[in-house]
Structure 1
Amino acid sequence: MDSIATPLRQLLYVSSSNPRGAKIDVPEVVAQSRHNNALDGVTGLLWSDGKRFLQVLEGPADSVATTFARIKADTRHHAIVVLHERDIAAREFGTWTMAQRVPGDSADAFDERIRRLLENASETVRGNFLGLIAARNG
């Protein structure tokens, strides 16, 4: 009997931290998200400056939908906008879970690491991340 491959889905969204919400502890969010995403088979890339978030999620369609529903229900997010959503044949970010700016990383060093991680991304995904990086630098 042939096994049927689970369709993969890619979703790219942008959000802002809720101005009325609790301050977002980005390292804590990343740690919890890595745990949840590993359980759900979701991978991707997250960029944040602490005020704005740009994330691409990849994985089984139902897992991506569940993960995004959890994000939309999180009151720390505000103005969530889906920028791009499509079926994909293969993950553009492999098993990469999320990028995180670690203490000691300059914003420029972090942005350069993000640029390298975007090398295999679609033009749409790459363009959105690079646009947000350019806005930070502008």
Structure 2
Amino acid sequence: MLQLIYVSTARANDADCAAILATSRENNGRDGITGLLYSDGKRFLQALEGPEDRVEAALARIQADPRHRAIVLLSRRTVDHRDFGDWAMAHRLPGADGDLFLARVAQLVAQASPDVRATFEGFAEARRAA
């Protein structure tokens, strides 16, 4: 099973981000991909895990999507089991409580490997401070 983690910047407004989230839920559910998508409306940090061909196809769709720019692949590794048993999304609306959001991200990554957990928690903390 393949696990990819990438970061990107949104070329989108809040309505576009909502559409991206909805499309991600649909596509990943259909393709047997799990993971975590963090979005604060400006940045995306996503872990995708599942069958290699489907994860690669998902990344190709994301790279071709004009609503994303500056996509950077942070990690690509083969895993024996899923870090994320269910597909989950964390989306912070502008003005939302930062501490509650950080607690939600920590809950979502609690079962992930230490490296994945640190990536998401560190990114969420840095974005809260931005």
TM-score above 0.5, yes or no: yes
What's the TM-score once normalised by structure 2's chain length?
A: 0.88
- Aligned residue for 1:12? 5
- Residues 43, 98 of structure 1: 8 Å contact kept: no
Higher helix share: 2
Q: Kindly state the Cα deviation for residue 110 of structure 1 after the two structures are TM-superposed.
A: 2.1
Paired residue total: 128
- Residues 37, 97 of structure 1: 8 Å contact kept: no
SS of alignment partner, residue 93 of structure 1: coil
**Amino acid aligned to 2:76:** E
Q: Deviating runs (4+, > 6 A) in structure 1?
A: none
For residues 90-121 of structure 1, what are the alpha-carbon distances to aligned partners after superposition, in whole Å with 9 as ceiling and x for unaligned? 11110224333479953321221110111111
Q: Distance in 2 between matches of 1:93 and 1:102?
A: 23
For residues 35-73 of structure 1, what are the alpha-carbon distances to aligned partners after superposition, in whole Å with 9 as ceiling and x for unaligned? 111111111101111111100001100010000000000
What's the TM-score once normalised by structure 1's chain length?
A: 0.83
The match for 1:126 among 117, 125, 128 is 117
Q: Distance in 1 between matches of 2:122 and 2:79?
A: 23
- Aligned residue for 1:45? 36
For structure 1, the residue ranges without an aligned partner over 5 or more in a row are: 1-7
For structure 2, the residue ranges without an aligned partner over 5 or more in a row are: none
* Identical-pair percentage: 51
The match for 2:82 among 55, 75, 91 is 91
SS of alignment partner, residue 83 of structure 2: coil
Q: Distance in 2 between matches of 1:137 and 1:95?
A: 25
CA RMSD of aligned residues (A): 2.0
